[in-house]
With several copies, the nearest count.
Chain A
Amino acid sequence: MIHVRVQDQPLDPHREVDLLRADNPGIGAVVSFIGLMRDLNDGDRVQKLYLEHYPGMTERALQKIAEEAVQRWELMGCRVVHRVGEMCPTDPIVVVAVAGQHRKEAFLGCEFVIDYLKTQAPFWKKETTEQGERWVDARVSDDEAEQRWRKTRDSD
Chain B
Amino acid sequence: MIEVKYFARFREELGSDREQIEAAKVDTVATLLTQLRARGGVWLRLFGEEQRVMIAVNQEVADHATLLKDGDEVALFPPVTGG
Genuine A/B complex: yes
Q: Does A97 contact B (CB under 8 A)?
A: no
Chain A CB within 10 Å — which of B12, B52, B59, B82 has the most?
B82
B42 to chain A, nearest CB (A): 15
Q: Does A137 contact B (CB under 8 A)?
A: yes
Q: Which residues of A contact B54 (CB under 8 A)?
A: 122
Among the 9-residue stretches A10-18, A49-57, A68-76, A148-156, the one with 4 or more Cβ atoms under 8 Å from chain B is A49-57
- A109-B78 Cα distance, complex, nearest whole Å: 27
Taking chain A's interface residues, is the majority helix, strand, or loop, or is none over half, making it mixed?
Answer: mixed
Residues 79-123 of A, flagged 1 when their CB comes within 8 A of B and 0 if not, give: 000100000000001100000000100000000001001111111
Closest to B54 in A: A122
- A126-B20 Cα distance, complex, nearest whole Å: 27
Q: Does B8 contact A (CB under 8 A)?
A: yes
Q: Name the contact of A51 in the complex, choosing from B5, B60, B78, B82 (C-beta under 8 A).
A: B82
- A114-B83 Cα distance, complex, nearest whole Å: 7
Q: Which residues of B contact A35 (CB under 8 A)?
A: 83
B→A interface (CB under 8 Å): 5, 7-9, 12, 52, 54, 56, 59-61, 75, 77-83
